Amino acid sequence: MHDLTPEDLKRLPSHVAIIMDGNGRWALSRGKPRLFGHRNGVENVRAIVNSAFEIGIPYITLYAFSTENQNRPGEEKSGLMLLLEEFLKRELKNMMGDGVRLRAIGDLNGLPEFARNAVEKTIEKTMGNEKWNLTLALNYGSRQEILQAVQSYATESNGTEKNLNWETFSSHLQTKDLPDPDLIIRTSGEFRLSNFLLLQAAYAEIFVSPLHWPDFGKDAFVDALKNYTNRERRFGKTGDQLVTDSNKLLSKNP
């Protein structure tokens, strides 16, 4: 259950992207190894994703492993990949039963073969699911994605496109099948995007929680959603313009 009002539910974001930060610090503060924090972080993934779908948010994207994370110690990276494989194998049945489609963005070729195979098999098996959408950003970096999109666009257009617009260019991004995120949540109190969905987040609302990811439970998630529903998304317009636009829409659809 949650304490979102009927009015809150009308204003929910369609797409929430989460930077899951603080697993290692959470573990170290308890005198445990960093992988202990990552394992608890994976357990929290299950809880938050389930909560999001129960509440009615159709798109969730999780920043699971960045290109910069490749610089971490080998033992930690191996442990993370094993946790990823374990999570996907354990959750496949639930994904199929709940109608969840898995996607991945990032360079999967930079993952160990066993982890890449687990991701690709889960993507293939859930491809026909249409109710909910879970995207994992794995070995992902937004700058790298943008450079690849520029190369893809240049190759396709062969220099003939004279009026490039966002719709055309965004079709070359890895998120082309996803709506832009409405809300980006970052845990652990850090105020930065860390090379995550830099173009797609152009008009996203941002919520920063002081809680480390393993402590960011359903109540904290609902608080972030309530905060979002109380914001006015202007997209460059003034508040008066938004009221005028809303009145025009109401007059067309009484």
pLDDT of residue 164: 87
Q: Are 175 and 197 in contact (CB under 8 A)?
A: yes
Q: What is the pTM of this model?
A: 0.90
What are the φ and ψ backbone dihedral angles of 22, each rounded to 5 degrees? 105, 5
Q: Is 117 a catalytic residue?
A: no
Say which residues have a Cβ less than 8 Å from residue 171's Cβ, sequence separation at least 6. Answer: none
With a pLDDT cut of 90, the percent of the chain lying above it is 86
The arithmetic mean of pLDDT across residues 129-154, rounded, is 97
- How far is it, in rounded angstroms, from Cα 88 to Cα 82? 10
Look at 143-152, 160-169, 192-201 and tell me which has the smallest mean pLDDT.
Answer: 160-169
Determine the distance from the C-alpha atom of residue 96 to the mean position of all C-alpha atoms in its chain, rounded to a whole number.
20
- Let me know if 22 is exposed, middle or buried by CB neighbors in 10 A (0-12, 13-18, 19+): buried
| C-alpha distance from residue 178 to each of 101, 105, 122, 133, 173 (Å) | 12, 11, 18, 9, 10
Class of domain 6-252: alpha beta
Angle between helices 218-229 and 34-55 (to 10 degrees): 50
pLDDT of residue 234: 77
Banded model confidence at residue 252, pLDDT cuts 50, 70, 90: low
Q: Is 132 left (phi over 0), alpha (psi -120 to 50) or beta?
A: beta
The arithmetic mean of pLDDT across residues 3-31, rounded, is 96
Domains of the chain, by residue range, sit at 6-252
Banded model confidence at residue 249, pLDDT cuts 50, 70, 90: very low
Side-chain-side CA neighbours of residue 183 (13 Å): 27
Q: Is 69 a catalytic residue?
A: yes
User: Of these residues, 21, 107, 180, 182, which one is catalytic?
Assistant: 21
User: Of these residues, 50, 69, 117, 227, which one is catalytic?
Assistant: 69
Higher-pLDDT residue of 225, 2? 225
- How far is it, in rounded angstroms, from Cα 149 to Cα 173? 5
pLDDT digits (tens, 9 = 90+) for 88-116: 999 999 999 999 999 999 999 999 999 99
